[in-house]
Amino acid sequence: MIRKAFLTFCSAGMLLSAHAQTPKVYAIQADKIKTPIKSTMYGIFFEDINMAADGGVYAELVKNRSFEFNMPLAAWTQQKKDGGDGRIEVINRSVERPENPHFIKAYVSSDAGFFGLANEGFRGMGIKEGEEYSFSVMAKQDGDTNVKLNVELHGDNDAIIGTAELTPTDKEWNRYSVKFKSSATVKKAKLYVWLSGKGTIDMDMISLFPQHTWKDRPAGLRADLVQKLADMKPGFLRFPGGCIVEGRELNNRYQWKKTIGNVDKRTNIINRWNTEFANRSTPDYYQTFGLGFMEYFMTAEDIGASPLPILNCGMACEFNTAELVPMDQLEPYLNDALDLIEFANGDASTKWGKLRTDLGHPAPFNLKMIGVGNEQWGPQYVERWKVFTKAIKSKYPDVKIVSALGPSPDGKEFDMLNKTFRGLGADILDEHYYAPPKWFRDNARRYDNYDRKGPKIFAGEYAAQSVHTVSVDNKNNWECALAEAAFMTGLERNADVVNMASYAPLFAHVDGWQWTPNLIWFDNLKSYATPNYYVQQLFSLNKGTDVVPLTLNNDVVAGQDGCYATASLDKNTNELIIKFVNTGATAQNVSFKLNGGSYQKQANVTTLSSDKGNAENSIENPTAVSPVQSTLAVNGKALNINVEPYAFKVIRLKNK
Ligand code: AHR
């Protein structure tokens, strides 16, 4: 309904915009600082949903590399060629290696030809012409054999686009690797591992990575995806979620200690989004934790974001099993929180600080915040929260605790938690809003009357839903992005209360998603930023350091004629920054009265706009809605600008 109304408006708006209007005068008081804006104001929410980690930012190309899926040979098929033959056994050594029990034993029964395995990758493997790839395997010859490996990458029509050879020599487990180049770019390539020479060989951790990754770290992260995060200059990185923290059941909760160290020792588990939506079932979705807590902390550091880990508080997802740990058995969960703080901040004389040092990072990660629970609600959460808060605060009084206010921004559960946590003196409250675009436009004043002395607000997960939450038809369209921009002017205006905000979820594979909308979409080779991403990016890059008053008729600008606005100073660059959002169908003739500053003659303007509410970006057309730069004359103490319908503008004026 809302979307239809918006679209109908578009054509009318184009007509109306032709009429000249008397300019409305918006007053800016650049010498009256209202509140500083925290460096953490705009950040990133990361969760392994929609193949964000495995199959996404974690650049491993082999799916089920360690044969730990419920069906251990999932993603693998046996192959024969040129008269070769053999068979595969799946061995479970759970007593000796409980964290990585399965490996395969391959019997090559013929001297002639080749027997082997092919891996389908994550909806195929994205391979680029001229790039180098690193194949590796843990292997041991079983007895006096000399089984040789021929590695092949197959592209479209089974064309061979890369080859390598390797012969594991030892009778004990060892890691072998070889590098080779690809001769073609292919979106859905396959990996073949051919075995030749009669005998038996054991194999595990069969892996293929591009050499070029983020910062070219071996077995690292996809560079194009992390670059998009870096380009946002985020203030914080929240990880690892989201509901994935909780697990459908406690057994499958996120346990950070199992995600660090050698990757072959990180226990794989089913991804909770594997089975969440029957209509978006993803039976091949598991967590290898190749992207684990060390990688999260290092990525945060790389992109200049403050790390914000969210930990399980003894509760499984309340939308699913809602399992609870008995209160007298919370200790391992509490230890996970306390040990994590030591892991992040402790020096090498501490147990966990030493582990971080041994893992190659002697410098602390400077952890200042930690989340206790994700979207919990009910008195059972409060009970557990109290135990966590007491334990954390008594050992680490300076670490701020992020407390959940449930999945909705209002209602009985929200009100109860909001009141309770305020009464208990909580540091930061985590509010989530997945709602129609209208909700975002209507709630731009949400924080204007919040208690200034109470807890700080973290808008921890939000996204406008074009249809409804969890609808598979939700789109990352311009109407939603523009509504988010309108709402964000209210966050920024209230930066004394709202200290952090992040859109959610972050990533989605175009062939492997469960949830929509998402900030960044990708396939195996490319990625694109949504209009919503550009809104987030423009706010982040242009947040400034201090909010200053911007008013229309002595009121904040939050919906009059469909317009929303905020202004800030950037003390570092000596600029005034104005953000103006016109969600209406009518062009706005705007005059800013510039009090308290003296500006150079030309302002820089960035415009994000579209006359179509349903406009989207895509792999084929990644910049359909994207920022456009221009300049504007400043007329002494006045700045006049015509803001077209459905537009978000950022105007930067340099002080003389
Ligand atoms: O962002 C997707 C999901 O939405 C998150 O995992 C959860 O916290 C929320 O319900």
Residue 61 has pLDDT above 50, yes or no: yes
Residues contacting 331, CB < 8 A, separation 6+: none
CA 263, chain centre distance (Å): 21
CA distance 377 to 311: 15
Measure 514 CA to ligand 1 centroid, in angstroms.
11
Task: Report how far residue 58's alpha carbon sits from residue 220's, in angstroms, rounded to the nearest whole number.
Answer: 6
Tell me the sheet residues that pair with 78. Answer: 117
Q: How, if at all, do strands 186-196 and 148-154 pair?
A: antiparallel
Instruction: Provide the token pair at 6.
Output: 């918006």
Ligand 1 pocket mutation, candidates 50, 239, 243, 518, criterion most atoms within 8 A of CB: 243
Distance from residue 45's CA to the centre of ligand 1 (Å)? 10
Q: Name the residue of 515, 516, 519 to mutate for ligand 1: max ligand atoms within 8 A of Cβ.
A: 515
Widest Cα–Cα separation across the chain: 91
Return the beta strands (E) in 4-144 as ranges.
24-29, 35-36, 44-45, 76-81, 86-92, 102-108, 114-119, 125-127, 132-141
Q: For the domain bounded by 2-37+547-654, which CATH number is listed?
A: 2.60.40.1180
520 CA to centre of ligand 1 in angstroms: 16
Per-residue pLDDT tens for 554-582? 999 999 999 999 999 999 999 999 999 99
| 241 CA closest ligand 1 atom index | 6
Which of 276, 375, 431, 492 is catalytic? The answer is 375
Q: Which pLDDT value is given to residue 22? A: 87
pLDDT at 13: 37
Does residue 6 carry a pLDDT above 60? no
Indicate which residue's Cα is closest to atom 5 of ligand 1.
Answer: 242
Dist CA 62 CA 64 (whole Å) = 6
How many A from CA of 610 to the centre of ligand 1? 29
Residue 405's pLDDT band (cuts 50, 70, 90) = very high
- Round to whole Å and give the CA distance between 219 and 106: 26
DSSP output for 570-623? ETTTTEEEEEEEE-SSS-EEEEEEEES--B-SEEEEEEEE-S-TT----SSSTT
Give dist(CA 519, CA 533) in Å, integer. Answer: 5
The domain made up of 76-210 is a member of CATH 3.30.70.141: no
Q: What are phi and psi of 546, to 5 degrees?
A: -150, 135
Domain 44-59+214-495+512-542: assigned CATH number: 3.20.20.80
Which is nearest to 47 in space by CA: 493, 403, 507? 507
Residues with Cβ within 8 Å of 144's Cβ and at least 6 positions away in sequence, in order, are 199
Burial class of residue 230, CB neighbours in 10 A (0-12, 13-18, 19+): middle
In 443-523, alpha helices (H): 478-493
- Classify burial at 449, counting beta carbons within 10 Å of its beta carbon; exposed 0-12, middle 13-18, buried 19 or more: exposed
d(CA 604, CA 582): 18
Out of 274, 310, 461, mutate this one to test ligand 1's pocket (max ligand atoms within 8 Å of CB): namely 461
Query: Residue 572: what pLDDT?
Result: 97
Per-chain mean pLDDT for the chain: 96
Whether residue 50 contacts residue 552, with contact meaning beta carbons closer than 8 Å, is answered with no
For 337-340, which contacts have Cβ atoms below 8 Å and span 24 or more sequence positions? 337/311, 337/370, 337/372, 337/388, 337/391, 337/392, 338/391, 338/392, 338/395, 338/396, 339/257, 340/256, 340/293, 340/309, 340/311, 340/367, 340/370
What is the sign, positive or negative, of the torsion defined by CA atoms of 239, 240, 246, 250?
negative
Active site residue 375: yes
pTM for this prediction: 0.96
Q: Is the pLDDT of residue 252 over 80?
A: yes
Q: What is the pLDDT of residue 219?
A: 98
The CA R_g of the chain, rounded to the nearest whole Å, is 27
Q: Hunting for tokens 């004026």 — which residue is that? A: 653
Q: Which among 128, 194, 186 has a CA at the least distance from the CA of 158? A: 186
Measured in degrees and rounded to the nearest 5, phi and psi for residue 2 equal: -65, -45
At residue 7, the pLDDT reads: 36
pLDDT per position as a tens digit, 172-201: 999 999 999 999 999 999 999 999 999 999
Q: For residue 20, what pLDDT band results from cuts at 50, 70 and 90?
A: low
Confirm if 336 and 315 have CB atoms less than 8 A apart: no
Name all residues whose Cβ lies below 6 A of ligand 1.
47, 49, 241-243, 374-375, 407, 461, 504-505, 515
When pLDDT is averaged across residues 445-471 and rounded to a whole number, the result is 98
Residue % of the chain over a pLDDT of 90: 96
Would the pLDDT of 431 be above 90? Answer: yes
How much distance in Å is there from the Cα of 407 to the middle of ligand 1? 8
| Mean of pLDDT values over 58-83 | 98
Q: What is the dihedral of CA 331, 336, 341, 346, to 10 degrees?
A: 90
DSSP state of 382: H
pLDDT per position as a tens digit, 117-169: 999 999 999 999 999 999 999 999 999 999 999 999 999 999 999 999 999 99
Taking CA atoms only, the protein residue closest to ligand 1 atom 6 is 242
Positive or negative CA dihedral for 443, 444, 445, 447?
positive
pLDDT(406) > 70:
yes
Sign for the CA dihedral angle at 196, 197, 203, 209 comes to negative
* Mean pLDDT to the nearest integer, 19-23: 70
Interacting residues of 614 by C-beta distance below 8 A, sequence separation 6+: 3, 7, 475, 477, 478, 479
Asked if 57 contacts 222 with a C-beta cutoff of 8 angstroms, the reply is yes
Domain ranges of the chain: 2-37+547-654, 44-59+214-495+512-542, 76-210
Token couple for 399: 């670490």
Minimal-distance CA residue to ligand 1 atom 4: 242
The predicted structure's pLDDT at residue 14: 38
What percent of the chain is predicted at pLDDT more than 70?
97
Burial category of 173 from C-beta neighbours within 10 Å (exposed 0-12, middle 13-18, buried 19 and up): middle
Task: Identify any residues that bridge with 191 across adjacent strands, giving them in sequence order.
Answer: 119, 153
CA distance 43 to 144: 56
44-59+214-495+512-542 and 76-210 share one fold: no
Average pLDDT of 359-376?
98
| Model confidence pLDDT, tens digit, residues 87-121 | 999 999 999 999 999 999 999 999 999 999 999 99
* 633-648 per-position pLDDT tens digit: 999 999 999 999 999 9
Q: What distance in angstroms lies between residue 244's CA and the mean position of ligand 1's atoms?
A: 8
For the CA of 515, the closest atom of ligand 1 is 2
